[in-house]
Amino acid sequence: MLSQTCSGSDLLRNSTLYQEFLAEREEILKHKWIESEKAGYDIGFERALTDWILNHRSKWREGRRMAA
């Protein structure tokens, strides 16, 4: 009998939750770049993350749900 196994990395790559994490992280990095350009210096990931969550996350998620 032939058994098919998936490695942990395969499971992770195919995980919807992980894909959402990657998409959200990409948006945060874009936000960090835009806000750093506006400020004239690197605002840092933590500040960008906090600002993005407070001001953009819910609308971004809503847009993703509507597109699905």
* Eight-state DSSP code of residue 56: T
Residue 62 has pLDDT above 50, yes or no: yes
Average pLDDT over residues 61-67: 92
CA distance to 1, 2, 7, 59, 68, per residue, from 55 (Å): 54, 51, 37, 8, 22
Q: Where are the domains of the chain?
A: 9-67
Average pLDDT over residues 15-39: 95
Burial 27-52 (b: 16+ CB within 10 A, else e): bbeebbeebeeeeeeebeeeebbebb
What does pTM read for this prediction? 0.79
Task: Give the rounded distance of the alpha carbon of 60 from its chain centre.
Answer: 10
